Structure 1
Amino acid sequence: MLKNLQEWVILFVIVSIMVLIGNWAGYDVMPLDALPGIIVLALISLIGLIIHRINPYKGIPSIAYIGILAFIITIPGVPGSEQIVEWTSKVNLLAIATPILAYAGISIGRSWTDFAKLGWKTIIVGMFVLLGTFLGSAIIAEIILRMQGII
């Protein structure tokens, strides 16, 4: 458990630095302004992972614990929730998603031989998934923007 905890902390520190830089470069939020929000998000994630690890029932994924914990501590009326919401609102979602997706890409890239074993059909399915996601997002954005009268 201690080895996992050390690995998680190192990973969260690396990702947090990347998020701070991305938030600063992409959204003009100074790193010191976003730092409290990054720390809160990393702590929530770390606590969720610990809960998942110590829970004997492994049927619930760790992301569920993280989401429930984040939901509970941001409920209006919970002591400190306003401050947590204020801090985390300075961290842009895309600044968080970018390093995580980069990490996923790197982990897939490290195992190209395993990926190649899946066959050419996997590449076609992946292309259709990406195309469907893009087109679905574009259609939803078009509908919403037209409903709001923006376009």
Structure 2
Amino acid sequence: MNFKNTLFVLIIISILSLVSNFIGYHTSIIESIPGMIILVIICLAGVALSKIIPLKIPSVAYIVLIGCMVTFPYFSFASTISTMVEKVNFLSLTTAILAYTGISIGKDLDAFAKSSWKIIFLSCFIFIGTYISSAIISQIILKLTNQI
């Protein structure tokens, strides 16, 4: 997927997320746009880094790293960025992403059916591992910043 396609998908997801945020959480679309733009910029930067840096690290890792860096309390604009992004509810983002994923899987239903039950088993381990890793990292960061 090239950068232009990534931008196009992010714009579609952003529009769906803004509408979902408005309908589900009654947050004005105008209020949510700055936060959504920040999220799109973070995503684009992560995708760009994954293309530029020669290591085989998924773009989502760069996206998470950039998101953590720009909201770290000692970053100059962290409070401003956090204030803007908090207008975009997390569940409104997942609604659009899951819809897009459903369409993608529906397009390749034969390939999905061939992957068998093993993919469900593997997915459960990945979700559990991601959750536990996130909790450990959060605990460490919160302790280091004296938040807890």
Alignment partner for residue 92 of structure 1, among 72, 89, 94? 89
What secondary structure sits across from 1:99 in the alignment? helix
Name the structure 1 match of 2:136: none
Give the deviation of 1:86 after TM superposition. Answer: 0.2
Name the structure 2 match of 1:81: 78
Q: With structure 2 as the length reference, what TM-score do the two structures score? A: 0.76
CA distance in 1, matches of 2:34, 2:9: 17
Give the deviation of 1:83 after TM superposition. Answer: 0.8
CA distance in 2, matches of 1:112, 1:67: 30
Alignment partner for residue 42 of structure 1, among 26, 40, 50? 40
CA distance in 2, matches of 1:72, 1:118: 37
Residue 15 of structure 2 aligns to which amino acid in structure 1? Answer: I
Give the deviation of 1:114 after TM superposition. Answer: 1.7
Deviates more, 1:83-92 or 1:107-116: 107-116
What secondary structure sits across from 2:74 in the alignment? coil
Equivalent positions of 1:62-81 (< 5 A) are 62-81=59-78
Residue 77 of structure 1 aligns to which amino acid in structure 2? Answer: Y
Give the deviation of 1:118 after TM superposition. Answer: 3.6
| 5+ residue gaps, structure 2 | 129-148
Aligned CA RMSD, in angstroms, stands at 2.0
What secondary structure sits across from 1:26 in the alignment? helix
Please identify the structure whose Cα radius of gyration is greater: 1
CA distance in 1, matches of 2:94, 2:42: 16
Equivalent positions of 1:108-147 (< 5 A) are 108-119=105-116, 121=117
Name the structure 1 match of 2:16: 18
CA distance in 1, matches of 2:62, 2:83: 22
CA distance in 2, matches of 1:111, 1:16: 24
Give the deviation of 1:116 after TM superposition. Answer: 3.1
CA distance in 2, matches of 1:71, 1:102: 26
| 5+ residue gaps, structure 1 | 134-151
CA distance in 2, matches of 1:111, 1:42: 27
Name the structure 1 match of 2:140: none
Name the structure 1 match of 2:53: 55
Aligned pair count reads 123
Give the deviation of 1:117 after TM superposition. Answer: 2.9
Name the structure 2 match of 1:6: 4
